[in-house]
Chain A
């Protein structure tokens, strides 16, 4: 059995002349919450549609739990629940009827419908026509529809779109619970890092169809090189001493000097040097670039 819930091998996709997915090698480990990040138009939805076989892909490029997608379409789809872009809901039916319709299609017990309504907090709106639902309510129903078959793998395309802060937190907790308690795997796309930073175990960052980073959330954090901020009375003298002793100065202004962090011992040595040479050191602190900026950096390079 493959160690990956989703694996793509050199996946490409074109819309006419436009290459939307370029040589994408997605690797979503089992049991992970994989944050699929990228700005609008990056190709996230397109990739998810390929994973669902809604868009054609060449043979031997997409594997779901180790099974080749094109040859095992139904077996693969049985393992996946999905919410793609705006939730697809029959507007003339009520929330409950939408769920019952899905129960019919999946051959599952209709009592599941009430259970799912309760799970996403729509019990009171169960009999209301979904055409009259707010965007957030539709999104909740979309999530209920994705979950109703209790799939091993969930593909959620920007699931928190239109949700209120409470709803966002609920979805986050739900995702954590599904992976930690029920061993599910979740691929969740977003254009905001902040949104998945706290829940994702793995991250893939895509821009213009290309994967720019893929790894664990810790690996992503390691990428943001920590730096040291030193606040001194005499900036010029301090900069001089630091650079002549091998420190890498990132920038300096208004009495603050940023240098690359190279280890505790080095930092202590530099501090002593500054003091011995008559520079007053007001403060020394580590300065970590936050992930949001890192994300912006990565996606704006191309």
Chain B
């Protein structure tokens, strides 16, 4: 009977063996196998680790790299040692000792305990290289290195580490030195890639920011992903410094003056919105008009935030620079400064003023002045000045409709300007300029000399024409009705005004020239008697411009 049962018992034994050898031994792993993190800064902690490290150094389990002098504290040096198992480096097993003379000041590292591995490879270098080549990689960067590769749960495998190139990439492959299988592969390109962060805007909304990591480890408001340089500087409320920069007396230092954040979760709401909305405006110009930034040549965009402190509003210096409070301004060469708003309890025009960069239409408005500067260069006075302002309002509103859902209230696209930060209702209305006392018809235009001849006042006439050409409706002053192209076709009217204002208008354009140029642009783009041409023509007629 025994003889007959022998195969059965053998099978059962094999079964047991297989089962037990495959099952994990958690208690064993926890005690003696696996990675151990070392973070020793206090003398007692250092003393606790020293005997082990010394023993490993003597036994060749740790091998020193040449010490590196400390560039900041010259009396110190940093000893690095790599872990070896039977002469084979343990990948990722190393310790760093901060030394002063012969004294250890700190130890940080990861050591792998309980490694027990035969270090004779079954697969040779050529076999490992062939495995990598089968993945389409060219493994000719440097010689394969035999390493002990830590796996999950305290397991270790002997592997060939091979760096190899693929189109657009350099990768590390780990090839099992027993089976030739690829155990792990990942990209080894350490590029200075721009980083995406998160931030909170002026209205408490969450958005993504395109930033960079600076050498000091801080994240700085410099966009490395868009084609132009896009920087946001934190002027830290220093009016003098801001004025010195704007007047060309000093340059700003990106290393120290860019808006910055330690953890890349940005909380400076003013910087967040200035930086993000500048990028969105650049993207809009590209996507809508195929325009490469303000000059169509990717000129830099520089945003200045915190040009003053709100509490300095009433100081002598602050009152010299109202621009840095309840305003925002384009200063040429791609530079925009955003006002910080007004102190609590202070209103202007019966409205409260928040950080001006918090309104997408304001940011786009200022940058559109840059587009005008590099194109028609409309003179900032009287009628051309009003057209200059109107074009900025038109772009500001178009950008809102591009990114935000139509509606009323915060973060909604509408025909009010600045309504997200100047509460209530903002500073101008394209749908109803009269709401702010601005003319909606040429017959009632402002003819005085204030505001450069009413550039922010008479802009209402062109603004309203733009509004009517899209939405249609009746002009309150003339009573004339316009059939607009409709909100879904707003892109047509945006294209018409963009073409007219950037390609066709001279710097001294009048409202009448603007009418003719937009009608011409509508014909160029959509054909004679097209609905955009009709809508634009009706709109100008309704606002009294012939």
Please indicate whether A and B come from the same complex rather than being unrelated chains. Answer: no
Give chain B's interface residues, CB within 8 Å of chain A.
none
Give chain A's interface residues, CB within 8 Å of chain B.
none
